[in-house]
A and B are shown apart, each in its own frame.
Chain A
Amino acid sequence: MIPASFDYVRAGSAAEAISLIGQYGDEAKFLAGGHSLLPMMKLRLAQPTVLVDIARVKDLSYIRDAGDHIAIGALTRHMDVETSPVLAQHAPLLAHAAGHVGDPQVRHRGTIGGTIAHADPASDLPATTLALGATYVVQGPNGTREIKAADFYKGFLESDLAADEMITEVRVPKMNGAGWSFQKFNRRAQDWAIVGVAAWRGSNGSGVALVNMGQTPVLATSVSKALADGASIADAAALAAAEASPSKDNNASVEYRTHLAKVLVRRALEESTK
């Protein structure tokens, strides 16, 4: 399968990329690693007439200690997130989850900004950064703005991002030694999760987010609230699907997904509780 024809332009900087996308309008798309976009283009699920290749904007690939958070450039690849010593120390849940995206070949190309902008509820890192209370820095023609992960996801493959905006940085609060767990239930190692759970639990609270349990990644706030109110892990996990609205597909019915979410949240909380 070959994508439909398109024009291809390259940006050397974020500002140039935004200017180019503004010039070409709604039919243009940013191309980062391309591992969500190109498969969709091959299947004609996406048919942009212009691709603005941002993968060569090298100053957007970095992982920095920024005090209370870790700043990750949007074009940092999954493999670099997975193997980062800074993230291993300060946000090990994110590094671990990045190691479960696709397979090594995919992780050599796919980027953290790309998977977040794609806003697929079945992807691992939107939910993981949501659980961690991350903030996304977004650049557009009128400057930059910060969007909390909890406010970013609006619907299936839809986010708060305007067509002429691009994510430039992902800010992940330091985990400060909190316990954590990433549960990914799938049939084949490289598949998307049928249900996934990213969770952490520390002295200042907890965060639990669900993969593939609705139209967006889902923050399981009822679970965290129950834990804060002193509920047992089993009782808190029973609330796992309170905010979720799962769909059925070839892999799972709604009932099965709901059950799985409760089981995986319980396992995740057990693993996170030190």
Chain B
Amino acid sequence: MEIRVTVNGKQHVSDVEPRTLLVHYIREVLGLTGTNVGCDTSSCGACSVHVDGEAVKSCTVLAVQADGSAVTTIEGMAAADGTLHPMQKAFMENHGLQCGYCTPGMVMAATSLLKENPNPTEEEIRIGLEGNLCRCTGYHNIVKSVLAAAGK
């Protein structure tokens, strides 16, 4: 089936099997491998991307469901000149990652969270990131990073 998806501002027209998952479309068809596959069961959040501005788990969305949508992946966060997105910068400055595997999903979930709640408390950040698992950091520096990105 032919789909038209705008990914990181660029329109793509692709012929995909209906069973193709959005994460595989992003990684294997478009070659954008910043989006990771973690659990593949909609638990860990490593595959989080934005569809029309909202975080979703791309392992649980069919590419055909995203037809006509605007998708943003971690590759679309920094400016064209390489200037990091404020959330990426906050993760870097606050040591919000260790191995980095969950980080693309964390950044996408956290930016979606701030869009819905620009001024979250620490607790709201912890609850807001319930869909993203990190096995390294114990979450403290991730929460610090999001607080910093929110200007706190």
Interface residues of A (CB under 8 A from B): 1-8, 31, 34-35, 38-39, 42, 51, 53, 55, 79, 102-106, 108-109, 188-190
B127 on the A face (CB < 8 A): yes
- A42 B55 Cβ-Cβ under 8 A: no
Q: Which of B40-48, B73-81, B83-91, B92-100 contacts A (4 or more CB under 8 A)?
A: B40-48
B: residues with CB less than 8 A from A are 1, 17-21, 24, 40-43, 45, 48, 51, 54-57, 60-62, 64-65, 109, 112-113, 116, 127-128, 130-132
How far apart are A172's CB and chain B's nearest CB, in angstroms? 24
The residues of B that contact A5 with a CB separation of less than 8 Å are 17-19
Interface class of chain B by DSSP:
mixed
**Residue pair A108, B130 in contact (C-beta under 8 Å):** no
- Can you name 24 A-B residue pairings with CB atoms under 8 Å? A1-B40, A1-B41, A2-B21, A2-B24, A4-B19, A6-B19, A7-B18, A8-B18, A8-B62, A8-B64, A31-B65, A38-B61, A38-B62, A39-B41, A39-B60, A42-B40, A55-B65, A79-B54, A104-B55, A105-B109, A106-B42, A106-B57, A108-B54, A188-B130
Partner of B57, one of A3, A6, A105: A105
- Interface on chain A toward B: helix, strand, loop, or mixed SS? loop
6 nearest interchain CB pairs? A103-B131, A8-B18, A189-B130, A108-B54, A3-B19, A103-B130
Are B41 and A105 interface neighbours, CB within 8 A? no
Chain A residue at minimal CB-CB distance from B130 = A189
**Residue contact B17 to A104, C-beta cutoff 8 Å:** no
